[in-house]
């Protein structure tokens, strides 16, 4: 099934003291690019988060935002070094007595000394965190995948309409192409007659017309163009495409080459106008394909 590379997924999930909120945004990218922002306590789990994305998607830029308990990380524990605090207090009081200083030791003074109060981070079991985080991540990725699939269906619908327009135009060119040779024959015969002021040699004219017909024949290009479109449609119908976006982009390039050759070989104003229309549709399809996974 064709999937777009544009999508969004969000999920909140908690289990007692552990609660996560995960937001995932994805955009088109030539490769798989995962950018993750999460609390420091989850640093050891970042590889698992990225692996979960890699297992589900092959292309796109993913911006993943993980927050813990709202936007607050798990609090640690404040500890007081009472022995060190006592030494500071006794030393200050000794100085006061020895030098007959005014005032007394204030709390703010003692608290300002280094290593008196410190934060001891609470250690948690990474596996317990992952048990909740993985469930939350899976559901967020499910929402993201659903949106990418819906977007992909919309892209395919639009592309099919444009392919149909191109096929109708190609059918028209196929009907017009033989007449261009006859028109070229008449123009060449008239030109030679004016230059020679007499009826030109029919054998020479036939030879020139044959060479002109070979140079202006677009049958092969039309056939290859039709084949590329058939392959394109087959890929759109594939239920389990892998890297289909790159393959579709390649086919678009090949179709562009064929239509450019038709434009250079055709000697007809109507065909030239048709070619312009096909190019316009191909460019719109190319823009859509750039967003297919």
Predicted confidence pLDDT, tens digits, the chain (293 residues):
899 999 999 999 987 778 999 999 999 999 999 999 999 889 999 999 999 999 999 999 999 999 987 544 555 678 899 999 999 999 999 988 888 888 888 988 888 899 898 876 667 789 999 999 999 999 999 999 999 999 999 999 999 999 999 999 999 999 888 777 667 667 666 766 666 666 666 666 666 666 666 666 788 899 999 999 999 999 998 866 567 999 999 999 999 999 999 988 877 788 889 999 999 999 999 999 999 99
**Global pTM?**
0.72
Q: Which CATH class is domain 7-73+128-145?
A: alpha beta
Instruction: Enumerate the domain spans of the chain.
Output: 7-73+128-145, 77-120, 149-289
pLDDT of residue 266: 77
- Using one digit for the tens of pLDDT, what is the confidence trace for 228-274? 999 999 999 886 656 799 999 999 999 999 999 998 887 778 888 99
pLDDT value, residue 201: 66
Of 124, 137, 135, the C-alpha closest to 50 is: 137
Hunting for tokens 């030098």 — which residue is that?
Answer: 99
Q: Which two tokens stand for residue 188?
A: 């060449």
């Amino acid at each position: 099934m064709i999937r777009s590379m544009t999508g969004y997924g969000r999920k909140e999930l908690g289990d007692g003291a552990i609660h996560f909120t995960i937001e995932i945004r994805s955009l088109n990218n030539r490769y798989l690019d995962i950018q993750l922002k999460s609390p420091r306590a989850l640093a050891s789990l970042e590889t698992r988060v990225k692996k979960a994305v890699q297992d589900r998607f092959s292309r796109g830029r993913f911006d993943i935002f993980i927050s813990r308990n709202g936007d607050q990380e798990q609090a640690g524990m404040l500890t007081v070094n009472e022995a060190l605090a006592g030494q500071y207090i006794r030393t200050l009081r000794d100085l006061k007595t020895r030098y007959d200083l005014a005032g007394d030791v204030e709390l703010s003074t003692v608290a300002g000394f280094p290593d008196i109060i410190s934060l001891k981070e609470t250690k948690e079991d990474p596996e317990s965190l992952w048990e909740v985080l993985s469930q939350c991540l899976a559901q967020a990725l499910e929402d993201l995948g659903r949106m990418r699939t819906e977007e992909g269906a919309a892209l395919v619908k639009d592309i099919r309409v444009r392919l149909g327009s191109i096929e109708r135009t190609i059918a028209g060119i196929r009907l017009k192409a033989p007449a261009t040779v006859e028109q070229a024959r008449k123009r060449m015969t008239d030109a030679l007659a004016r230059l020679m002021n007499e009826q030109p040699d029919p054998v020479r004219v036939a030879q020139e017309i044959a060479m002109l017909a070979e140079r202006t024949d677009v049958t092969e290009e039309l056939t290859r163009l039709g084949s590329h479109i058939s392959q394109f449609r087959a890929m759109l119908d594939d239920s389990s495409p892998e890297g289909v976006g790159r393959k579709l982009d390649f086919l678009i390039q090949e179709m562009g080459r064929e239509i450019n050759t038709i434009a250079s070989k055709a000697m007809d104003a109507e065909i030239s106008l048709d070619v312009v229309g096909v190019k316009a549709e191909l460019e719109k399809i190319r823009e859509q394909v750039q967003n297919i996974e």
